Amino acid sequence: MPHFTCPACKVGIDLQHPDTRLYGCPKCGALLDFSSGFPNKVDKLDKARISQLIPLGTVGVLRGLEYTVIAYTKRIVDHSSAYWAEYVLMNNADRSIRFLSASDGHWLLVENIPMEDFPEVTTSSFETKTEVKYEAKTFELFSRFSGHYTCIIGEIPWELNYKQSTRCLEFINPPQMISFEMDQRQGRHEINAFRGIYIYPKEVKKAFLKDKALPPRIGIAPAQPFLRGLRPNQFGIAAFVFCLVALFSFLYNNSHRQNKLIMQDSFYINDSTVNKPLLSPSFRFDDKVTNIEVQVNTDLTNNWCALDLTLVNEVTGEERTIPLETAYYRGVEDGESWSEGDYKQTAFVCSVTPGQYHFVATTATEKAGPTVRADVTVFWDVPTVWNEVILCLLFGGAALVFMKWQQIREDERWENSDITYRK
């Protein structure tokens, strides 16, 4: 590791990268040119810097690769207060360079990509491009701007034109961004291409800032995905396909339901039977685990009754209680008849296993009222639509909520864009 001394403030300098061309002194802010192999002061950027969260020399593992932070820069948009920070990361395995870009609490992991992948992006077409394609994905133009450096600290292992503004284009397809930077070198324009991938603050904190708090995210970033990559449109298609499958499943299953009458019995409810268990005859469910439908039909008039039926498996002793309550009132008022309630009730019981069963009935009714007759009928393996309907409503409703939520977030994202035709 080469050791040098800053010619401006005499602080020691230990270089990490073998190809360092420019170095910003963390102590005095002097910019040192290393093109000759030794530090020569060429400039100083002394404008106010933003808070540097990750110290130089920090080593961390990000997405399976070990990096060392070798530089920190601040870049500001021309004629604006908007800025972003870039941490230069050196891959400790092969000394390749990545960038960790930070803005408004959002983070991008950025790498150089070949301009050969974008033959359509030239100096003459630079300002007219509205979309680019990369790895079979289409990226939409999000912003055009110019920016310049206001702070450089640490090692820059490439030729950096920090004195002039750089023209930038950003194209997005969340969670990715393709950006182009065009600057002027020796009388000609040069374009560089970059790919950024949105990463969540927790990843950055785990890799480099284990004991420090990160600033909160503000707004929706250009490349920020929806709910960690959930795609509402695809979710909606999946929900539609699920509903079709559920429909065919409903038609098929119900066409094979037996809807078999298993038992009919009557219970008489009055003061003498209240809170006294009444037993039904035994009956049997055969063949398979399926549902049953229990119907209760009473002769109520201006009265109510409660009938709690406990389904008892005579072999295992397993019990399942089915509460049924009916109330029916009627009369004539101002020459018009009226009624409310119902003298019938129906209940479904799912996943009943084969076996020998009986009912234990517990009853209640109006004190000193007339005897109420309750006829109980049990059907086995009954056609039903509720499972499919409920699931379809849940999936369909979730898809609509996600798509609406995504639209709100997209509107918020594009509010920060300077591409007016997209708004």
Tell me the three-class secondary structure of 268-322, residue by residue: EECCCCECCCEECCCEEECCCCEEEEEEEEECCCCEEEEEEEEEEECCCCCEEEE
Classify burial at 411, counting beta carbons within 10 Å of its beta carbon; exposed 0-12, middle 13-18, buried 19 or more: exposed
Taking all residues of the chain, what is their mean pLDDT, rounded to a whole number?
89
Spatial distance between the Cα atoms of 153 and 209, rounded to a whole number of angstroms: 19
Dihedral pair phi/psi, residue 169, rounded to 5°: -125, 140
What are the boundaries of each domain within the chain?
3-208, 232-253+387-422, 258-327+339-382
Q: What mean pLDDT is predicted for residues 225-233? A: 75
pTM of the model: 0.70
Question: What confidence score (pLDDT) does residue 84 get?
Answer: 93
| CB-based contact 182:190 (threshold 8 Å) | yes
pLDDT class of 47 with cuts at 50, 70, 90? low
CATH class of 258-327+339-382: mainly beta
pLDDT at 2 over 60: yes
- Find all residues with CB under 8 Å of 355, minimum gap 6, and list them: 284, 285, 313, 314, 315, 316
Question: What confidence score (pLDDT) does residue 81 get?
Answer: 87
Question: What confidence score (pLDDT) does residue 186 get?
Answer: 64
pLDDT at 253 over 80: no
Spatial distance between the Cα atoms of 282 and 263, rounded to a whole number of angstroms: 9
Spatial distance between the Cα atoms of 269 and 365, rounded to a whole number of angstroms: 7
Relative to beta strand 355-365, strand 278-279 is antiparallel
pLDDT at 384 over 90: no
Nearest Cα to 379, choosing from 269, 271, 296, 279? 296
Q: What mean pLDDT is predicted for residues 387-415? A: 86
Dihedral pair phi/psi, residue 413, rounded to 5°: -60, -50
Q: Please indicate whether residue 387 or residue 197 has the higher confidence score (pLDDT).
A: 197
3-state helix, strand, coil in the chain (%, to 5): 15, 45, 35
Q: Give CA 169 to chain center in angstroms.
A: 28
Dihedral pair phi/psi, residue 4, rounded to 5°: -135, 175
